[in-house]
Amino acid sequence: MKPLIIFGLGQIAEVAHFYFTVDARRSVAAFTVDQDYQTETVFCGCPVVPFETVADRYPPADYDFFVATGYAKLNRLREEKCAAARAKGYVLASYISSKATAWPGLVTGENCFILEDNTLQPFVEIGDNVFLWSGNHVGHHARIGANAFISSHVVVSGGVTVGRNCFVGVNATLRDHIQVGEACVIGAGAVVTQDLADKSVMVAPESVLSKVPSDRLRRI
């Protein structure tokens, strides 16, 4: 496998470096960001170079690329950087944890990041640039659209379609055979039992902070 160039200098880039090197056994040659945002020259022991000139020093014929940014602007920033890397000629790498459960026939796109303890049942399809943090269940025949970010311990039931550029918060549940439109935000702990139109926002009620301090609680 070719050495890897990682876009980003934040915590997600550091996490990506860890998983690619420790689990996937891939060599990371360098990090890159837009020149205006370059604050250091070394990150995780690797050189940092401006994205504007990265292809001159690390030619696409010899290196693969991974965009390690979060869900800012409903994942559009990550989507834009993937497109820019492709325009330079890079192949976008994906990572699927050795500790994830996936069956033969799983369809995934480029620049995917699938962490440990994800369960991906048969006939699942995952688009380009999808991040699945740890511990999710993706049921049979589910489809996750491009540029989605699924946080931890989410249940995507069988036959669900999640549209492009969605964000799903921790512990959310999507019931079977619903359609979630594009650019939706599903908050932590939300339970979705109906189809959602594009740009829908579903937020679960927050827990209430007790007025009684913990040292005055009874039976605890």
How far is CA 193 from its chain centroid? 24
pLDDT of residue 76: 97
Alpha-helix residue ranges (DSSP H) falling in the chain: 11-18, 54-57, 76-87
Residue 33 counted as domain residue: yes
User: Phi then psi for 11, rounded to 5 degrees?
Assistant: -65, -35
User: Does residue 116 sit in the same domain as residue 197?
Assistant: yes
Write down the pTM of the prediction: 0.95
Of 35, 58, 87, the position where a domain reaches its end is: 87
210 within domain boundaries: no
Which residues lie below 8 Å from residue 89, measured CB to CB, with a gap of 6+?
Answer: 55, 60, 61
Q: Give the Cα-Cα-Cα angle 187, 92, 58 (nearest 5 degrees).
A: 130
Q: How far is Cα 82 from Cα 208, in angstroms, rounded to an integer? A: 41
> Do the domain assignments include residue 218?
no
Per-position pLDDT tens, the chain of length 220: 899 999 999 999 999 999 999 999 999 999 999 999 999 999 999 999 999 999 999 999 999 999 999 999 999 999 999 999 999 999 999 999 999 999 999 999 999 999 999 999 999 999 999 999 999 999 999 999 999 999 999 999 999 999 999 999 999 999 999 999 999 999 999 999 999 999 999 999 989 999 999 999 987 7
The pairing of strands 167-168 and 185-186 is parallel
Domains held by the chain: number: 2
* 18 shares a domain with 73: yes
Domain end among 35, 67, 87:
87
Interacting residues of 200 by C-beta distance below 8 A, sequence separation 6+: 180, 181, 184, 185
Largest CA distance in the chain: 67
Whether residue 101 is found in the same domain as residue 156:
yes
Residues 79, 140, single domain; the answer is no
Is residue 108 domain-shared with residue 197, that is, in the same domain?
yes
Amino acid identity, residue 147? N
Instruction: Note whether 67 and 156 are same-domain residues.
Output: no
Instruction: Look up the CATH number of the domain holding residue 166.
Output: 2.160.10.10
Say yes or no: 112 and 67 in one domain. no
Its domain, for residue 167, covers 96-201
101 plus 196 within the same structural domain: yes
